Structure 1
Amino acid sequence: MSQILKIISPHVSQFIVKKSLFVTSVCKASTVADAKAFIEHVRDLSASHNCWAYRIGESNYRFSDDGEPSGTAGRPIYAAICANNIDDVVVVVTRYFGGIKLGAGGLIRAYSRATTECLRDAPKVELSPTADLSIAVTWEHIGVVQAIAERHERLDTVFNDSGCTIVLRVALDEEQKVRQEILDASKGFAKIE
Structure 2
Amino acid sequence: MPFTLPGRCEFREEIRKSRFITYAAPIASAAEAQAFIERHSEPDASHNCWAWKLGDQYRSTDDGEPGGTAGRPILAAIEAQDCDQVVVLVIRWYGGIQLGTGGLARAYGGGANKCLQQAEKRLLVSRVLLNCSCGFSELALLKIRLAEVDGLVLNETFTGNGVDLQLALGEAFIDPLQRQLADLSRGRIRLQRA
Is the pair's TM-score, using the shorter chain for normalization, greater than 0.5? yes
TM-score, length-normalised on structure 1?
A: 0.76
1:139-178 Cα offsets, whole Å, 9 max, x none, are x869799875784335x6599xxxx88352x234312234
Which of 50, 72, 79 aligns to 2:76? It is 79
Q: Report the secondary structure of 1:87's partner residue.
A: coil
**How large is the Cα RMSD of the aligned pairs?**
3.1
Which of 27, 32, 40 aligns to 2:38? It is 40
Classify 1:109/1:189 alpha carbon distance in 2 versus 1 (closer, same or farther; 3 Å): closer
**Residues 90-105 of structure 1: matches in 2 within 5 Å?**
90-105=87-102
Gaps of 5+ in 2: 158-163
d(CA) in 2 for partners of 1:181, 1:13: 45
TM-score, length-normalised on structure 2?
A: 0.75
Question: Is residue 131 from structure 1 mapped to residue 130 from structure 2 by the alignment?
Answer: no
Question: Is the deviation greater in 142-151 or in 90-99?
Answer: 142-151
Match for residue 21 of structure 1?
19
Larger Rg over CA atoms: 2
**How far is the alpha carbon of 1:114 from its aligned partner?**
0.5
Match for residue 192 of structure 1?
193
Are the counterparts in 2 of residues 16 and 22 from structure 1 also a CA contact under 8 Å?
A: yes
Are the counterparts in 2 of residues 131 and 175 from structure 1 also a CA contact under 8 Å?
A: no
Match for residue 171 of structure 1?
170
1:28-74 Cα offsets, whole Å, 9 max, x none, are 21222332221112100000111111112x30221111121221111
**Residues 137-148 of structure 1: matches in 2 within 5 Å?**
148=142
**How far is the alpha carbon of 1:92 from its aligned partner?**
0.4
**How far is the alpha carbon of 1:78 from its aligned partner?**
0.6
Gaps of 5+ in 1: none
Question: How many residue pairs align between the two structures?
Answer: 181
**Residues 4-19 of structure 1: matches in 2 within 5 Å?**
4-19=2-17
Are the counterparts in 2 of residues 51 and 73 from structure 1 also a CA contact under 8 Å?
A: yes
d(CA) in 1 for partners of 2:57, 2:138: 31
d(CA) in 1 for partners of 2:128, 2:77: 28
